[in-house]
Structure 1
Amino acid sequence: MAITVNGLDELRNAAGTDLGHSSWLRITQERVDTFAEATDDHQWIHVDPERAKEGPFGGPIAHGYLTLSLLIPMFSELLNIEGVSMAINYGLNKVRFVEPVPVGSHIRLAASLGEVTDVANGVQVLVDGTVELQGSEKPACAAQAVYRYMA
């Protein structure tokens, strides 16, 4: 269930809040193939299930950047920000792809709000996120995302 904050003051006050976990999201071959089409990244470890069975991961895996891009929908399950005019994905401070994400597996986001600092016409928010891989002790991805919210 999402935490809701209304306006920049409530967002500032939420710094340090554990946002919990998103729901599990299944990674399908169709999603991987669609991402490959969108990015022109057709490496066989992603898009050729038969060849990938003989590869280093025993089957096809999601692109690291696909896993990273799924932070957006998973994060939207955790935090609802009202009373702002605009939200901007400002970038990333650190990203690590710790474990491959096999096609057919499930991932979810565990996140917390880090530092919230004032910027022109708004605030900058650091979000510490870990993409968990169901059944694995290691995460699929660890990232610190930077967002800006404007009044």
Structure 2
Amino acid sequence: MTQRHEYRIDSLLDHVGRDFGVTRGMLVDQPLIDQFAECSRDDQWIHVDVDRARKAPLGTTIAHGLLTLCLTTAAQYELGVFPSDATQVLNYGLDKVRFLAPVPSGSSIVIRVELASAEPKGSGRTLIACRNTAYCEGRLDRPVMVAESLYLLMA
């Protein structure tokens, strides 16, 4: 078994593949969906029209996929993905985002985060990729989203 070093920017390569575990449940209720719709200006009825959605096949409104995606950063902070010696954490982008199942309003989601890669960029900078897998709480057999997020860490 590979020995793990203290979790710091200069030891990130030793931690590639590390599973940081699963977050606490994050409630995705109608008020949160409505707030996201307002700030994103995506007010499609399936997200915000409770009465109309009640008559649709799912019987309820669903969260925006991008709302679920936005919760990955909170998950990474909760699970300690960013080393304490990082003086700055910059969002560097996304790779391979897939929304696999709807998230019904009122669901709690949990997100599993793994360190997929770490690439030193010089001058105390390291680019990391995190594999994020979101599930409706209690259904860890069926992901609702998978996404690879990229961050540039500064030492």
After superposition, give the CA deviation of every residue in 1:104-129 in whole Å (9 maximum; x if it has no partner).
11101111101111114310111111
CA distance in 1 between counterparts of 2:22 and 2:133 reads 9
User: Which of 98, 106, 109 lines up with 1:107 in the alignment?
Assistant: 109
Give TM-score, length-normalised by structure 2: 0.89
CA distance in 1 between counterparts of 2:51 and 2:120 reads 51
Partner of 2:45: 44
State the shift of 1:54 in Å. Answer: 1.1
How many residues align? The count is 147
CA distance in 1 between counterparts of 2:44 and 2:144 reads 19
Structure 1: gaps (5+ residues): none
State the shift of 1:150 in Å. Answer: 1.0
Q: Secondary structure at the match of 1:81?
A: coil
- Please give the residue correspondences for 1:110-149 in structure 2 after superposition, counting only pairs within 5 Å: 110-121=112-123, 122-136=125-139, 137-149=141-153
CA distance in 2 between counterparts of 1:46 and 1:57 reads 12
- Is the CA contact 2:23–2:111 (under 8 Å) kept in the aligned structure 1? yes
Give TM-score, length-normalised by structure 1: 0.91
State the shift of 1:138 in Å. Answer: 1.5
- Equivalent position amino acid for 1:49 in 2: V
Q: Secondary structure at the match of 1:58?
A: coil
- Equivalent position amino acid for 2:100 in 1: V
CA distance in 1 between counterparts of 2:116 and 2:137 reads 25
- Equivalent position amino acid for 1:88 in 2: L
Aligned Cα root-mean-square deviation (Å): 1.4
Identity %: 36
State the shift of 1:49 in Å. Answer: 0.6
CA distance in 2 between counterparts of 1:68 and 1:56 reads 24
Partner of 2:93: 91
Structure 2: gaps (5+ residues): 1-5
CA distance in 2 between counterparts of 1:71 and 1:84 reads 18
